[in-house]
Structure formats: C-alpha cells, structure tokens
Chains A and B, each alone.
Chain A
C-alpha cells in the first residue's frame, strides 16, 4: 500500500469509528452533521439488493427525513428510545473498494450489542458507505446497512445503526 493510500485508509477508519461512537452515545446532532446535503440512509429488507424505489426497506431516508428522525429524538417523547438503548459496537473489516471522482466507496462489518428495556439484541451488519470530502473533511453521502437477518421478523430497532 502506498503511503497516500495508507493515509486515506486511516482517515476513513477514523471517520467510521467516530460515526459509530456518536451512534452508540446517541449524540444525534454531531451524527447528523456527518451527512452531506444529499445524504441517503438505507437499510434494506428482504435481502440485500432490492430496489428501494419499488420495494419496502426498513429505512430509506433522504436528507430531510434523516433530519426529521433526529428532531423526533430531540422531543424526548420518542417512546421507542425512552429510555434509550444501551449500545456498544465493534466495527471491523474496513476496506476502501473504489474511488470515483470525489466519492470514496467503503465497506465494513459491525456487531452491535443493544441492551434495551426488555431485551438484549445482537445486530450483525455489513456496511457500505459512500464518503465524500467537503471543505477538507469527510462526510457521508450514502450509508447502506445490510442486516444479516433482514429477511426475518425483527424487533424494534429505533436507535441509529
């Protein structure tokens, strides 16, 4: 790996770890600030590659719906997250897949332990990111969360994953 490629990978890793930390700690505004203005947050259902424009997804948020989701948390009356889930995630297998123009395509895996009021759940997921450098800093333009059990009946998943 060239020095430049190594530097980019470390920067990407640091970004993704930071993003995971903000999610674990429910730091909603700091997390929202990571998105580009055209950001898309997508969690498919029933396999990995359905067409979200035709089929139901667990989440398929454009930028304004991401903001709405955050505003709902801030009311303090989002019952499914009051009390908030206790979260710890391990993120690994971070790889840069390709670079196109300003976009950096990255994949990673995560195991997330959620302790909620009535149940403890382990969520296993593959991530696909499109990151973009804006004013010198990385931002998320797209995050796809492929839950490995997305074809099955799932309990509430109201935290940021």
Chain B
C-alpha cells in the first residue's frame, strides 16, 4: 500500500490533466477514505428528515452507514450503527421514531442520543464506567440552513470555513421558499453506478457535456436547458475554492428576464406560489428571486444541489458509487413542489431521462480510464479565458473545465496533508 504522505501528487495531477490511476487505483481510494471521507466535512442529511424528537433515518457519511437522530433534547446526532458490546448493528429500519435502540444480539439498549441505557443481566458485569459504552458518534456535527454535515476530524476548519464562499449558495436556495426553508420529505431514489465517485463530482458542474449526453432528450422535450449550456450562453462556471464549484445560470436567466423561466414555467401557471413570494419579499425582490432561480452547485465532496433536486454521492468502493437523489421541496409552496417532484422523477434515477445517460457515461469512462494510455485526461478547456468575479472567485465560460480544475486543486491539498 502506498504511503499517503509520499504519494507523488505532482506526477498524478497536472494543472490541465489527471492521471487515470487517480480514478481507478484502489490504493488511491483507500487513501481518500483517510484524507477526505474520514476527515473533511461531509453532507449527511437534512434536519427536516427528523422533524420530531426521537425520529431517526439511516444515512451515510461517505462509505460508512450512520443513524441520524433527533435526541430527546431536540439535538441532531449522527450515531454509528454498531453495538458497543459485540458490534452487531443496532438499527435495521430505514426510518422511524425510537427513543431507544435495542440490540437484538444481547439486548443492550441505547438512547436516541447514543448513550448506553441498559445492559441485560447487569449483575454479571464488573464495576466500570458505563458512560464510555455508548454508540460511537461522528466527532463533529454542524448544520447550515438545515443541511447537516459531519466530520470525523476532532479539529479543523469549522463548517462555515469549509463552505466558505459557497455558504451564500444555501441562502440563495432557501430564498425560493416563501417561508425561507427547504424540506427533504419526498424520499430518495438510490441509483448505483459501477464508477469512481470523482467522475460524478466533476460531472455535476461540467457544463460542456449536456449538449451531447442529453441531446436525445433536449431534442424531443422542447427543453430550454440545451441553450443554457451552449457556446453563446451567458451562464458562467465558478470555483468557490475548497472544492466547491458552480454552474451559475443566473446571467442567462437575467437575459431572458422571465420570472420562473428558470423552471420552464410562468407566474400564471404557478399563481399561488408567485403570490406568496411577492407577499413575503415584495414585488421587486420576489421578481429577482424568481428570475434567478435555484443554484446549481457541487459542494465538495458529496452534495450536489441541482436546482430542483439534491444528489448525495456515496462512495462504496473504488469502482462503485451510489447516487441518492430526491426532489427539493420548498416550505409554503405546494404547487411549485408538485412540479419539482414531477420533473425530478422524470429526470433522475435508474430510468431517468437524463441520469440514466450520465450514469452510462460514468461507467464507460471508468472502464476507459483503465486503458493504459494516454496517461492523463485533458481538462484544459478555457484555461486561457479564466478570470475572476467581483468577489475574487475564479470564473469561466459555462462550457469550460474550470470547475474540474478547482476540484483537483482542493483534492490535492487534502491528499497531501499528513494525517
């Protein structure tokens, strides 16, 4: 096994290309578990998935299953699904409400806060400190706008520092709700691909592929999406730093200047929503929010906010990834939400009119990268026209490889850190 600290990253990552082994070598994957998935902030779930005390839902933090609970005090916790006694899984249900998890093996029980509550036949145990025998928990848990992240590193950047410039993306997202909140209540599809997780990480903000991979559906669906990703689009690609990247479609939507045009609809067709938005925000601000639409942002390493849905990327092996995907639901917007679900169901998942094609490409690319040459991919598109926006973030044309370059810059900084 390669020693992570001695990996020759300058030989694997060029400024405009990535060595194929970075995607397909199991040793790189093992090293990523240590340097990324067990260290940095990783998205786990949304607070609205556990609205009441003692609600729980099975989630994952990278490859590791976790139980997201809301404990008796209302605090969201991330518990590892392993009995502290002999290691049996304490929870086998996908979701529910439970003040106590009882391990079926020897009947030890744990509270929704993870603490050991009860050991069966207690008189047989020597005298010792039972408070050390709770369920293990993700070391740090933090949330922003209801999005719950976990990190196994006891120290390091705060969640706000990790999100950095992309923090504002969450504000922009929830602004589409007349009540300023999103909800994750529609249930997830789980879509498995035989491909490395980083192919998805990069593709989510690759504005170059839609015109080709999705031409079959753009051509027959009377969709405006194709134009957004064309050569003449005013939309931009952006690198927020820390691996977070964006397809900023607002410049193009502002050119069109139609409220709800981003969603292929109009205020007349979603009258209740438009009325609620104008009442809360006032005409001018509501109009601007409804023109700009929702963000298209990949939060490193695993949360893709995809305008009307979110994807959570879960690496399972070097060549296996599960895409968990659900429609976003905006509080106080039932007519918008119905359309969100309908459009999402048509687009994503194993039979999705968009995502089945992306997923096919992920798998073929993974196989392609196993060929011995050329050694490097080429991600130099737009290198000559990189520029910075008013906030100082790197931006490029929508079809440029700028997001990939930003992802790899951050990836390298994580992989080179001694752990």
Chain A interface (Cβ < 8 Å from any Cβ of B) = 43, 45-46, 50, 53-61, 65, 68-69, 71-72, 74-80, 117-119, 151-158
Q: When the two chains form their complex, are residues A59 and B351 in contact, meaning their CB atoms are under 8 A apart? A: yes
A-B contact pairs, 19 of them (CB 8 A): A46-B187, A56-B187, A56-B189, A56-B325, A58-B351, A61-B346, A68-B220, A68-B346, A72-B217, A75-B219, A77-B215, A77-B216, A153-B190, A155-B359, A156-B350, A156-B351, A156-B359, A156-B360, A157-B350
List residues of chain A with CB within 8 A of the CB of B349: 45, 56, 58
CB proximity of A86 to chain B, nearest CB, Å: 16
Provide the B205-240 mask, 1 if CB < 8 A to any CB of A, else 0. 000000001011101110000000000000000000
Residue of B nearest to A78 (CB): B216
B338 contacts which chain A residues (CB < 8 A)? Answer: 53
B344:A68 contact, CB within 8 angstroms: no
**Which of the residues B185, B192, B325, B356 comes within 8 Å of A80, measured between beta carbons?**
B356
Contact A79/B357 with A56-B344, A118-B363, A158-B350 known, Cβ cut-off 8 Å: yes
A153-B192 CB under 8 A given contacts A56-B326, A59-B345, A79-B357: yes
B350 touches A154 (CB 8 A): yes
A45 and B187 form a contact (CB under 8 A): yes
Residues of B within 8 A of A57 (CB): 345
The reply to whether B357 and A78 contact each other, CB–CB distance below 8 Å, is yes
Closest 10 CB pairs of A and B: A153-B190, A80-B356, A77-B216, A153-B192, A71-B220, A157-B350, A79-B357, A55-B187, A75-B216, A158-B356
Contact call A45/B220, Cβ cutoff below 8 A? no
Whether A151 and B94, one on each chain, are in contact in the complex, defined by CB atoms closer than 8 angstroms, is yes
- Given A55-B187, A79-B216, CB of A155 within 8 Å of CB of B326: no
Q: How far is it, in angstroms, between the C-alpha of A118 and the C-alpha of B194 when the chains are bound?
A: 9
Is B327 interfacial (CB 8 A cutoff)?
Answer: yes
Residues 171 to 221 of chain B near chain A (Cβ within 8 Å):
185-194, 213, 215-217, 219-221
Q: Determine whether the beta carbon of B189 is less than 8 Å from that of A58.
A: yes
Nearest-neighbor residue (CB-CB) of B215 within chain A:
A77
Which residues in A have their C-beta under 8 angstroms from that of B215?
75, 77
B140 interfacial contact with A, CB 8 Å: no
Given A75-B215, A155-B193, A156-B351, 7 extra CB contacts under 8 A: A54-B185, A55-B186, A56-B327, A56-B344, A58-B349, A80-B356, A155-B359
- Roughly how many angstroms separate A71 CA and B220 CA in the complex, as a whole number? 7
B322 at the A/B interface (Cβ < 8 Å)? yes
Known: A58-B351, A155-B193, A157-B350. A80 touches B217 (CB 8 A): no
The complex places the Cα of A58 from the Cα of B186 at a distance, in Å, of 12
Asked if B341 CB lies within 8 Å of chain A CBs, one says: yes
- Residues in chain B near residue A45, CB distance under 8 A: 187, 189-190, 349
Chain B residue nearest in CB terms to A73? B216
Evaluate contact between B345 and A153: CB separation under 8 angstroms: no
A interface secondary structure, majority = loop
CB distance from B352 to the nearest CB of A (A): 9
B266 lies within 8 A of chain A by Cβ: no
- Given the known interface contacts A55-B186, A153-B192, the answer about A68 and B353 at a Cβ–Cβ threshold of 8 Å is yes
Question: Complex formed: what's the CA distance from A46 to B357 in Å?
Answer: 23
**B185 to chain A: closest residue by CB:** A54
Known: A56-B327, A68-B221, A75-B216. A157 touches B322 (CB 8 A): no
- The answer to whether the Cβ of B367 comes within 8 Å of any Cβ in the partner chain is yes
Contact B220 A72 (CB under 8 A): yes
Confirm or deny: B361 has a beta carbon within 8 angstroms of a beta carbon on chain A.
yes
A65 & B322 in contact (Cβ 8 Å cutoff): no
Please pick, from B188, B192, B346, B357, the residue contacting A155 in the complex, using a CB distance under 8 A. Answer: B192
- How far, in angstroms, from A157 to B351 measured CA to CA in the complex? 5
- Contact between B359 and A50, CB atoms less than 8 A apart: no
Q: Report B-chain residues with C-beta under 8 Å of the C-beta of A77.
A: 215-216, 219
B209 CB, nearest partner CB in chain A, Å = 11
A139 CB to closest chain B CB (Å) equals 22
> In the complex, A70→B357 CA distance in Å?
15
Of A69, A156, A157, most buried by chain B (CB within 10 Å of CB) is A156
Q: Which residue of B lies closest to A76 (CB)?
A: B216
Which one of A54, A119, A152, A158 contacts B351 once the chains associate, using CB atoms below 8 Å? A158
| A152–B188 alpha-carbon span in the complex (Å) | 10
Residues of A near B213 (CB, < 8 A) are: 79
Q: How far is the CB of A148 from chain B (nearest CB, A)?
A: 15
Set of chain B residues within 8 Å of A50, measured between Cβ atoms: 187
Once bound together, how far apart are the Cα atoms of A77 and B210, in whole Å? 13
Q: How far is the CA of A60 from the CA of B186 in the complex (A)?
A: 14
**Closest Cβ of chain A: how far from B308's Cβ, in Å?**
12
Q: Which of A46, A58, A72, A156 contacts B353 (CB 8 A)?
A: A72
- Are A56 and B350 in contact, with the CB atoms below 8 A? no
CA distance A45 to B351 in the complex (A): 12
For B192, what are the chain A residues with a Cβ–Cβ distance below 8 Å?
Answer: 153-155
Contacting A at CB under 8 A, from B339-377, are 341-342, 344-346, 349-351, 353, 356-357, 359-361, 363-364, 367
Question: Closest CB-CB distance, B271 to chain A, in whole Å?
Answer: 20
In the complex, what's the smallest C-beta–C-beta distance from A158 to chain B, in angstroms? Answer: 4
Specify which chain B residues have a CB less than 8 angstroms from the CB of A43 in the assembled complex: 351
CB-based contact B361/A79 at 8 Å: yes
